[in-house]
Structure formats: C-alpha cells, structure tokens
Structure 1
C-alpha cells in the first residue's frame, strides 16, 4: 500500500499468511532440501551443486525423495510464517495513522523485526525437524534420525532430548528470523510503496498495485533476505543438524578457522533460488488471499 493512500487498512485473519506460505512451500520445498544439504557439508567433504543433489536424490530414491520433510516444512509455515506474517500485519495495522495510512519505513522495520523474533520462537521445533529430515540421507546410517513425518519426529525429539530439545538453536534461529522478516517482509513493503510512488528511471514506467508490482517487489525482497540471512542460516543449519551441544559462537569460530569467511554464504545460490520464488509465490498468494478475503467480508 502506498504511503500516501488514505483508505482504511482492512483487518485480515491472523492465519492468512501461514496459508500463503504453506502454498508457496509446496512448490519450493526441493530447493530448501538442497540448500540444507549443501549447508550441512563440512570442509573436507566434496561440495556438490544444487542440481547434482536433486539429480542424485531422484536417481537413487525417486522423484518423491525431493519432497522428504515436506510435513515439517508445512508445520514450519503454519507456526513460523503464520506468526511472523500475522503479527506483522496486525502491528502494521495498529501503528497506522488511525487505520488510514501505512506506517513509516522505520515503524515497518521495527514491526517486522519484532514479528520475526516471535515467529522464530514459535517455529523453532519445526525448524529442527525440517533440518534433520531433509539432511538425513547424507548422514552415516548410525547417525540418522529416521523421522517418518513431522508429528512422529516431534514426539521422538521430546523423548530423546526432553522439552529443552525443542529450543535447540533457538538463539540463532530467532536472530535469523528477525533478519529474515526485516529484510524480506519489511523490504517488500518498502519496495512496493517506493515503486508505487516513483516512476522507474530511464524508462519512466509507473507501477500500479498489480500482479507485476507484487512480483518485482517480492523478487527484490527475496534477494535482500537471502543475502542478509545467509550467515545466520548456515550456523543455524549446523547447530540443528548436530546431536552435540556446540554454541553458535563455537560453530562460528570453528567454521571460520576451518573454512574461512566464505562458509557464511555456503548454499547462497540454492537459498536464493529457493527464497526468490518462495518470496514471489508467498506474497502473490498472500495478496490474492487478502483480496479474496476482502471481497468475501464485504459481500
């Protein structure tokens, strides 16, 4: 919504963002699987490309193998994304000028960071399950978790590690969630409002609130989010995928010593190829769901 628009901001259901994110995850889950497997590779192991990971998985286990861990991904979207998007939309509505004008960029970033932290806390158990289920096949057989689905995995996690096990990597995950929501969701609103207000230089093209605007703004937001979150994402993956108790600082120091600073962007390409389309699909679905809900509510 443009910063100068003076129409009342509608109140959408809290769960709408979670549904949109779940719909997007159904399309992009194979890329998430490849990203996690690339980030889990240590310094001495060969570094297969994203396409080689997916090709080998399909050739060895069939096409369904690239959707390993989908149940955990959907659980994650209906906890992490539901809370971060729902909280952000609610805070944005409450901070608006009597519900008539979108908040300033600073307020949007603040709302996005707070909502991201809440989402990171809510989605932490599902994140653990997602990392373990998608990286299980690259582990030695004796170190595999062998979760059948997210529900049985959650039960096994609590049985083996106790309730405290649900908080494994929570600090890193919450930090990543704050960075992700600020750089993805917050920047989406920023790019969207900026493009609405200003014509594109050189070509003098003026955007309107349409499908094309949503795609362009979400692509820019996905690129921003991938780059900002990559270091925290790699550290989070290694902590959650491990059965040990290394702290984020220990993982960071060891990885820097063994692999150098480049490790912080390991898996950036599949992360971008996953987050770019995921961001586009999520926001396009979200915008359409919001429009559909508005039509339903006013009918």
Structure 2
C-alpha cells in the first residue's frame, strides 16, 4: 500500500481502497510571534506615538507644532524619547494579547470566518487580560514619552524602562503600577475587539469576495481598514489613559475627576483630541503589525518545511 503526505487538518483517510492520505494537523505558530511583530512596528512608528501622547497630555494644539518643539528642544534623537518604555510595553502587553486572542477564539469556538460579534468577543477577552498584565509597561511608556514635554522641575528623568519600574515602586509604592488600570483595560478591550477582530473579519471577507488572494495586498488592505476602525473606537479611552498616567504622585486624578475637569474646560470633543496623530500613528502601526506578523508566519512555515 502506498501513502501520500498532505498538509493540514487531521487523520488518515482511505482513498479508493488503494492509498492512504496522511492528513497532518498544522502546528500552531509560536505564541510570541505577535509580540515580536508589534515590537518591530512600534519601533518604526515611535516618533508618531510620542507626538500623540504629548498632544493628549499637554496643551499642544497641532501635530506639526509638537514635532517641531520636540526637535527644537531635544534634537532628532528626541523623537525616540522613551523607546525602552515602548519595547517593555510591547513585550508584555502585545505578547499577551495575541496569545490571549488565539486562546479565546479556541475557548468560544471561533475562527477567522466566524461572525464579527464572535471575533469581537474573543478580542474583548484578550484585551481584558492583556490590559491588566501590560499596565505597568503602559505607564512607563506614557511617562517616558511625555517627560520632556513637562517643565524641567516636573520631569521624572527615568534612565530606561527598568529604572522607571524600580523608581515607581520605591517612590510611589507598588500600587502605582496599577495607576489608570481601569481606562487602560477598557481601552485594551476596545482595541482588541476592534483591531484584531476587524482584521480577521476584513481579511476573510476580502478573500471571500474573490478579488484577493492571501498575499501582502490582502494583508495591507485588511490592516488599513482595521487601523481606521480601531483609532475611532479607542480614542476616548486613549485620551483618558494618557492624561491619568502622565500624572504622578499628588497630581494624579481619578477617572471621573479627569472626565469632569476635561468636559468643563474643553467640551465633549476632548475625547477625540489627537485623533489625527492617533490615526497617523495607529494606521501604519496596525499595517506594520499584521504585515510583519504574516511574514513571520511565512518564515515559520518555511523553516518547518525545510527541517
């Protein structure tokens, strides 16, 4: 009896009584792959993220003005202030959210072709877990990015993310690691329900249309749509998170205090302050994350086939 090897799903299937088709289940991809893709993307778009945080946390009015101020006061290298905080955040939050999203889909029996609400549910579950786990990294990233926008006497001057982590615990207590955890978890839930779920939805919908194949053009189009959805959905929580986390010690305010003060001084549209720089940052980041992730998956497939 002869045999034939075939990729994917599950068992041995007789073929016309003469051959056996060996169907091998595809191995899952490494759980950390999404975190690596997100770290690469965040490193490239860091100057835009830096500008977004400073717009949300300070009185700067325009993205261009904020960039000019950064370059004028700290040089071009100033556009990469707080890069270690960004890396720390991605290697905690992003690794966790991609892992949790895949596990949540398995738990509720969803796949990439499932209805949007089911994918969004998996995204919400992943966001809740990752938002909590990644909160310290989020605080460090926001503080390090916003530090040079403050007057010199109010700067924290963390040397790097690890130094910042130890100083937060030593100077403000371990409870400081949970500052802004409510808005951060809420934002993470919104982000994963909109970004991860919408990417899967757009990708499967575009494939089903017959106009696309599973290649970089599909990944680019689906991630572009996902980035726009995610920016709009996440803007209110993102603004609150940045304002609360950028405060330290006695400056800190509760979420409700921050909302009341901002509503009184700026009106309801404060929740979408910095939408353009947020979109300008999140759009290429989202595209880079998913395009990089898909390429990393191809590299893993190539490696497995080679060995």
Q: TM-score, normalised by structure 1?
A: 0.90
Higher strand proportion: 2
Q: Distance in 2 between matches of 1:245 and 1:54?
A: 26
RMSD: 1.8
Whether the aligned pair in 2 keeps the contact of 1:11 and 1:93 (CA below 8 Å) is no
Number of paired residues? Answer: 282
1:197 alignment counterpart: 208
Q: Distance in 2 between matches of 1:95 and 1:292?
A: 29
User: CA offsets per residue over residues 186-241 of structure 1, 9 Å max, x none?
Assistant: 11001111111125xxxxxx111110111111011111000000000000011101
Alignment of 1:80 with 2:85, yes or no, is no
Higher relative contact order, chain-length normalized (CA < 8 Å, sep 6+): 1
User: CA offsets per residue over residues 96-132 of structure 1, 9 Å max, x none?
Assistant: 57x8x74443321111111011111111101111111
Whether the aligned pair in 2 keeps the contact of 1:14 and 1:87 (CA below 8 Å) is no
Among 231, 237, 241, the alignment partner of 1:236 is 241
Q: Which runs of 5+ in 1 are unaligned?
A: 1-5, 200-205
1:122 alignment counterpart: 133
The Cα of 1:9 is off from its aligned counterpart by 6.1
Report matched runs for 1:30-179 at 5 Å.
Answer: 30-41=47-58, 45=59, 47-93=60-106, 95-96=108-109, 102-179=113-190
Moved over 4 A (4+): 6-10, 93-97
Q: Distance in 2 between matches of 1:113 and 1:170?
A: 15
Helix, strand or coil at the partner of 1:142? helix
The Cα of 1:17 is off from its aligned counterpart by 0.6
Q: Distance in 2 between matches of 1:9 and 1:182?
A: 26
Evaluate the alpha carbon distance shift between residue 218 and residue 50 of structure 1 in structure 2; reply closer, same or farther with a 3 A threshold: same
Whether the aligned pair in 1 keeps the contact of 2:113 and 2:204 (CA below 8 Å) is no
Q: Which runs of 5+ in 2 are unaligned?
A: 1-7, 10-24
Helix, strand or coil at the partner of 1:185? helix
Q: Distance in 2 between matches of 1:10 and 1:115?
A: 21
Report matched runs for 1:174-189 at 5 Å.
Answer: 174-189=185-200
Helix, strand or coil at the partner of 2:177? helix
1:25 alignment counterpart: 42
The Cα of 1:179 is off from its aligned counterpart by 0.2
Whether the aligned pair in 1 keeps the contact of 2:104 and 2:125 (CA below 8 Å) is no
Q: Distance in 2 between matches of 1:193 and 1:142?
A: 52
Higher Cα radius of gyration: 2
2:29 alignment counterpart: 12
Alignment of 1:259 with 2:266, yes or no, is yes
User: CA offsets per residue over residues 58-114 of structure 1, 9 Å max, x none?
Assistant: 2332211100001000111111111001111233345557x8x74443321111111
